Amino acid sequence: MHMRRTARPARPLRAGGVLLAAAVLLISACSSGSSTTTAAATEAALTALPRATPSALSPYYQQKLNWRSCGVPGFECATMKAPLDYAKPGSGDVRLAVSRKKATGPGKRLGSLLVNPGGPGGSAVGYLQSHAGIGYPADVRARYDMVAVDPRGVARSEPVECLNGRAMDAFTQTDTTPDDGRETDQLVEAFKKFAEGCGEHSPELLRHVSTVEAARDMDILRAVLGDEKLNYVGASYGTFLGASYAGLYPDRVGRLVLDGALDPSLTARKLNEEQTAGFETAFQSFAKDCVRHSDCPLGDAGTSPDQVGRNLKAFFQQLDKEPIPAGDPDGRKVGEALATTGVIAAMYDETAWPQLRDALTSAMKKNDGAGLLALSDSYYERDADGQYANLMSANAAVNCLDLPAAFSGPDQVEQALPAFEKASPVFGEGLAWASLNCAYWPVKNTGEPHRIEAKGAAPILVVGTTRDPATPYPWAQSLASQLSSGTLLTYVGDGHTAYGRGSTCIDSTINRYLLQGTPPEKGKRCS
């Protein structure tokens, strides 16, 4: 899926499959192609772990962190050890990067507040140091030590690596709307090459980067920080991580905010298909807004959103035949794949819509793809030197381990195309093919779709945005209903996630919960 991460500075999760690699993003896992959640999957629930810490894990729970300067004013950093394999704690460790910014006061300290921006694959440490640790409400930062750990396989925590920069450039430009058997074979080969790279560079780690293992790592961190309960704000994929923690350790749940929620009971195919519909919902909002502006290259005031979509699709098809220059020093041109990724990147946040209008105008009117390429590069976390963060690699690694692949081969994708194209005439075809990535993964999945109930947990706040492209609103409704103590807070609006995006109603409600432990009344809606 495309989920990726959360919050304005970090853009959220990925699920579907806009981009090749991104396809795995958020939730990209996938189910063997069944179009609905199976009854067995719906009935299965995450089982809580025993309350007593196994003796083999005691050394990890009793470790002392050696805090040091990070080189970022106000923040400290440390390295924490966790078992690579929780079933064999003595067989090796994984080293995890941790950072914190201590509570500033005034007021009584409430403990640690762990944050995660999503992905999977987004750097929580980077998010803490660039946003949460300085941008969260002052009242929250005054009372909590702000803390982050990069999950195993991500960023500073022994990152999964798959392809180098040049190979990633080729991968991200692969055509995800194959027109014939030759192009289908090229797409399959690209997925295989990506998967083989991951298996070659990270063979052991690749088997142990699941969400359940990352949630268990968070419990070790909770203990070494000296907290009896875990307080947490997770966005996008970070909601799956937080909900998994609650399911495993319901008695250790403190104040959990799950913003832009994922539904753990869905198969990978269903997740990708519903996320595809989410991007269509967001695009419809963009289309209505675009035609109100004189610089909209996709239509004028009388153009319907559906026609705007057809105009954009026609432009994509034109790029499929003849990519346009982008002034890129590495010689990349913007074809359909990069252009689609650039458009999808702007769907995460409505404040990016003016930038997208400008980028589309340059591309369609001036044959200049630089603006769309910049949007695509930001989505893939590609820097000016042609190097990529490990977001895409980690995203695939986690998603393909957490769920069975959405499709087993091209034939299943072709059978599913009508459903995906119905979900989104603009993005459906590309996102369906992008959902094929886990089919060729070098290690078998260890997770399955399941419900998370967390019976006995303290109140958990689930936040959903009605026109969220990456984590559709029904997912938040579903997770809140699964959690025995879940409360749903609704933001009526656009964009991915809601906290810190401009709604005083949302922010004050979440702040009250974090500071006082009081969830909102049932059915609360904000705009």
| Residue-wise DSSP of 345-360 | HHHT-GGGHHHHHHHH
368 CB-near residues (< 8 Å, 6+ apart): 324, 325, 326, 327, 362
Active site residues: 236, 468, 496
* DSSP SS3 for 491: strand
Cα torsion angle, 130, 135, 136, 139, sign? positive
Are 115 and 148 a contacting pair, CB within 8 Å? yes
Indicate the pairing of strand 68-69 with strand 76-83.
antiparallel
- Helix 410-423 to helix 268-290 angle, to the nearest 10 degrees? 40
Of 348, 271, 388, 375, residue with least CA distance to 26: 271
Q: How far apart are CA 52 and CA 289, in angstroms?
A: 55
Spatial separation of the C-alpha atoms in residues 176 and 187, rounded to whole Å? 7
* Helices within 144-255 (DSSP H only): 165-172, 181-201, 211-224, 237-248
E strand segments, 227-341? 230-235, 253-259, 324-325, 333-334
Question: Which residue bears the tokens 């699920």?
Answer: 15
Closest alpha carbon to 100 in 131, 68, 141, 145: 145
Which strands sit side by side in the sheet containing 2-5, from one edge to the other? 13-14, 2-5, 118-119
Whether cis (ω within 30° of 0) applies to the bond prior to 50 is no
Find residue 486's DSSP bridge partners. Answer: 460
Position 53, amino acid? T
Q: Report the C-alpha gap between 21 and 2 in whole angstroms.
A: 9
